Amino acid sequence: MLKVKSEFLILAYQAAEFYRSVGQTSAKILSLDETIISQEYSIVKVHWGGVTFKKTGDKLIEFDVSYLVQKIESEPKLILFIAHQNEQKAMQELKLL
């Protein structure tokens, strides 16, 4: 499990760097819905909004991502995430790529 966690953290850092590199300037959670799977796990669907990029100006972008969250210790841990849209296609349409 440690290797998976360290690989995930590397990928999460790389994702954040990528979004900064294409000019993301803001993002906020508009809503979230938690579905409990077990005592230790839940899926949290987040509706992101207020997402802006330098190239898109004032255009606000919204999208959904689901996260698998592990709650064993005092701090929840993100195990994986799934984008609900084709992210690459959406970014091409916005001329970010």
Separation CA 46–CA 27 (nearest Å): 12
Q: Given this model, what pLDDT does residue 1 score?
A: 46
Separation CA 63–CA 13 (nearest Å): 20
Asked if residue 43 lies in contact with residue 66, where contact means CB atoms within 8 angstroms, the answer is: yes
pLDDT band at residue 3, thresholds of 50, 70 and 90? low
Q: DSSP of the chain, one letter per residue? A: -HHHHHHHHHHHHHHHHHHHHTTEEEEEEEEEEEEE-SSSEEEEEEEEEEEEEGGGTT--EEEEEEEEEE-SSSS-EEEEEEESS-HHHHHHHTT--
pLDDT band at residue 90, thresholds of 50, 70 and 90? confident
Please compute the mean of the pLDDT values over residues 43-49 and round it to a whole number: 90
**Per-residue pLDDT reduced to its tens digit, 58-83:** 788 889 999 898 988 777 888 888 99
**Per-residue pLDDT reduced to its tens digit, 11-42:** 677 777 888 898 888 888 899 899 999 999 99
Please compute the mean of the pLDDT values over residues 33-56 and round it to a whole number: 90
What's the gap between Cα 65 and its chain centre?
6
pLDDT band at residue 6, thresholds of 50, 70 and 90? low
